[in-house]
Chains A and B, each alone.
Chain A
Amino acid sequence: MDQLAHLLNNKKNLELKFAILKLMREWFWTQGFTEIESPTIVELPGQEPYLSPMGVKIHNEEGEEFFGYLHTSPEYTMKKMLAAGFDKIFYLGKCFRDYESFGGTHNPEFTMCEWYRTQVDYFKIMEDTESLINYILDKLKNNFQFPISNFQSNPNDKIIKFNKITMKDLWKKYVSVDLDEYLTKGKMFELCKNFDYDPGESEEYEDLFYRIFLNEIEPKLIKPTIVYNYPAQMAALSKLAKADPRYAERFEIYINGLELANAFSELTDSGEQLKRLQEEKTLKEKLGKDVYDVDLEFIEALKNMPESAGIALGVDRLVMLFGGLQNIDNVITLPMSKLFN
């Protein structure tokens, strides 16, 4: 009777989640956004080498078989819509990622909120995120009791304040390293060795980067923090920074040591995008992952896509923060750990 016990134990947490879902929609509507639908089953999902889409088989009435995947994010669909003239759109729904843990900070099926605006860059999206989270806080406080200190803000604060810092400054602050000097795989490998890690020769730049980042930096990102400008090779779908093209206009939000959201000024150069996705496809092959073609309709769409910026925010994790909860299972109606026990 695991499922019934789970629902009884987490009724309050689920009520909090459903209230937050309602408030999120409210905030988007007051800001003039339109909620869109995205297919969750697609033929060609994203090429992110470290995400594993779940395969599905579909049959038409004649029994003809089609092979597709559950989307890992609605990004391609939403960018195709931007190219067709939609603006200020949001998706609030399920995404799926295979080979992730059942509980903790992941559940293979999870709730994502993704939104895009045209004619803006990622700074506008930072503003949106701060405004959205504070809107929820403000509206919730009458019906739910939770301390603002769950967000590691000062208990006397009226709003949740975000500290904004570039990735380069973060490395300087926490590991006393000038990141400019460590933008190649070789240099980052040496740095890992200096930090007493034992990386394999074949490790990619991202792996080496995250060894240091996850061990030495992320646990210190307790107060709400917006980390921006990532090394260019770590942002396949984003624009390069105007001031320094060694970095990309990407940001992530960390609160209480947990990654909450990932955003970009979107890359609109279709040729460059095709090149980057083909490189990712090659890497996927090398890593022994499922390989499928680059979605050429997505590449074609970029030719007509206006300047835009967008973000993907993990809704379950946001609810964990409001509820002061450590395990994502506590905010999911029936998590994998209870469905497949």
Chain B
Amino acid sequence: MGDTTDIHKGAIIRHNNDLYVVTFAQFVNPGKGSAFVKTKLKSISSAKGTEITYKSGETVDVVRVDYVTMQYLYKNANNYSFMNQESFETIDVSADLLGDDVKYLKEGLEVMMATHEGMVVAMQLPKKIKYTVKDAPPAVRGDSASGNVTKEAIMDNGLSVAVPIFIKEGEDLLVNTETGEYGGRVTE
């Protein structure tokens, strides 16, 4: 058991006898009554989505999960293979469960896997991931004059990110996995 302060993206909630992973959580304060937390949930068994708005402070059946560090290996048909860094076992996680976050995966990346009763229920990415820019069109004259301050660049894993125009091919940079935004150059 927990309350609404335990709700965050990646948390696991028991609702109507099914386990759900929180895919989106947003605080709302209408100002005229208590605050609320709006959530989008995905059923772990059926991958079906649902939306629930909780009153702030309300009891929520948050399921305790264990976190295990796993290293991403490769894509394997409709699954993604990871190595458990404690047991060195290889496990396959379905694309359905990982959702949109698979775009951030790259070989060798360490992630935290939330497990419940031995089963992987959610993946938690590092807040920022370092990539090398594989492809970035050079800035074109007039770009800044026309108000273009960013351009699309392709990272070494194929991820496309809007980056400042001064970013060049071969540079290392950080990408914020919560927003998908450019998160700064890597400063050594």
Contacts and interface: CB of A to CB of B under 8 A. Distances in A.
Nearest to A199: B55
Given A97-B29, A101-B26, A259-B30, A9 B181 contact: yes
Interface string A167-207: 00000000000000000000000000000000110011011
A339 interface: no
Interface in A69-111: 97, 99-101, 104-106
Contact of A2 (B38, B149, B183): B183
Given A101-B27, A206-B32, A219 B51 contact: yes
B31 interface: yes
| Central interface residue in A2, A104, A210, A259, by most chain B CB within 10 Å | A210
B147 interface: yes
A15 interface: yes
Contacts of A234: 32-33
B44 to A, nearest CB: 22
A199 to B, nearest CB: 8
Interface in B14-66: 26-36, 38, 51-53, 55, 58
A204 B30 CA distance: 14
B137 interface: no
A9 B33 CA distance: 35
Contacts of A99: 35
B28 A12 contact: no
A50 B35 CA distance: 8
Interface of B is mostly: strand
A8 interface: yes
Contact of B162 (A9, A105, A106, A204): A9
Given A104-B27, A211-B53, 20 more contacts: A2-B184, A5-B174, A5-B183, A5-B184, A8-B164, A9-B150, A12-B150, A48-B31, A48-B32, A200-B58, A203-B55, A206-B32, A207-B34, A209-B33, A210-B30, A210-B33, A214-B28, A215-B53, A234-B33, A259-B30
12 contacts: A9-B164, A11-B150, A12-B149, A48-B32, A50-B30, A50-B33, A51-B29, A97-B31, A100-B29, A104-B28, A207-B33, A214-B28
